[in-house]
Structure 1
Amino acid sequence: MPGLLLGDIAPNFEAETTCGRIKFHEFLGDSWGILFSHPRDYTPVCTTELGRAAQLYPEFEKRGVRMIALSIDSVRDHHGWNKDINAYNGDEPVDTLPFPMIADDKRDLAIALGMLDPDERDSSGMPLTARAVFIFGPDKRLKLSILYPATTGRNFDEILRVVDSLQLTSKHKVATPVDWQQGDRVMVLPNIPEEEASKLFPRGVYTKSLPSGKSYLRYTPQPKDC
């Protein structure tokens, strides 16, 4: 099945959205971007996901991330569904969200991007769109992809955490360990010699002693951006 691999440049598709017609590269501009897909309008799990995405929109905006959703229904359906999503959040039931939603009623984009879930089908037997998450860097290359089945809702707090990690590690020669959160210590990359590490990380490098005697677990406080 066609799809995107890490490092691939985002296709510059054109699409109708709840905010008008877009060209994807123009929409992204020089920003980070997140494209996330949904199986269908007026479905329960998707409603909760989009509600949470709308709540977290200011946090993504603060990080310079442009958000855009996709669902396999029409713009008209999207506008009606957006009222329900806003009402679910306890907000005024207006027909738009803080970000656009792509209309992919012919599944063209879902197929091209490898978003279909072969195990979940609609009443006519057509495969539903899976819950894909694509994160693109300012260079428009795919930095991360996560693919959930249609039956499992996403954790948008985790997606926000991933953005923090991607943005941090794009600027500094570090990696983020398991369960890392913003402000936690990070790991020095294994290919950086000790002398270089001490210059790169003036706040100090801590090396954990291990039975193997190998010095590969090296930690440093999270670098601060100037």
Structure 2
Amino acid sequence: MEKDLLVFALLALAVVTFFSIIWRVGAALSRKALANMQRLADRLNLQVLDQPTKLGIHPYPEARGTIRGKAVRIYNYTTGSGKSKTTWAAMTVTPGVHGGLTFALTREGFGSKVMSLFGAKEVKVGNAEFDDRWFVRSNAPEFFAAALLPEIQVKINRLSGTWKLENGAVTYTERGLFTDLARCERFASAVEPACDLADIAEVYSRQQS
């Protein structure tokens, strides 16, 4: 009997210790993500949202503000559940108007080959390096190809995430959390091309009116 109680106590202690370690790691990572987001927000003159903690763990940090006259939001979101759950880091820049323009830029790879097989039309800008690296789609292909000026292409080439304009906002997305300082640096670099792409949407809208 005493032996059984001892075994039970040891198992209970092991379970408590295990979950305590998980909680400590989670709390530490949430603090790191919040601190990194605060530095990124300060750098971009954005405001970090004040969100309550839950059991000492901060929710995914989020920053908002205005850059070049456009609403900017930096945040995390998740897709899937269980083992297939994926966390994404994203930045949205909302143009004043977009005129119905849509576009998407993804890295060339297996996914782009599949899209091509199913009839997706690729936009070519005429720059071999850019065209080899990116699979570009748009509902206004000729306009968008001309609007992606070489200086914008250079900024986009420095980044590895995906770009799109849908539902009225330009979005840059990478997989992962803001615990990664290198990711924070990339998002700081992504602001300018994201705003450039939002400018393109505004130009398109003016041409439609």
Same fold (TM over 0.5): no
TM-score w.r.t. the length of structure 2 is: 0.29
TM-score w.r.t. the length of structure 1 is: 0.28
More helix per residue: 1 or 2?
Answer: 2
Structure with more contact order per residue of length (Cα contacts < 8 Å, sep ≥ 6):
2
Instruction: Give the number of the structure whose alpha-carbon radius of gyration is greater.
Output: 2
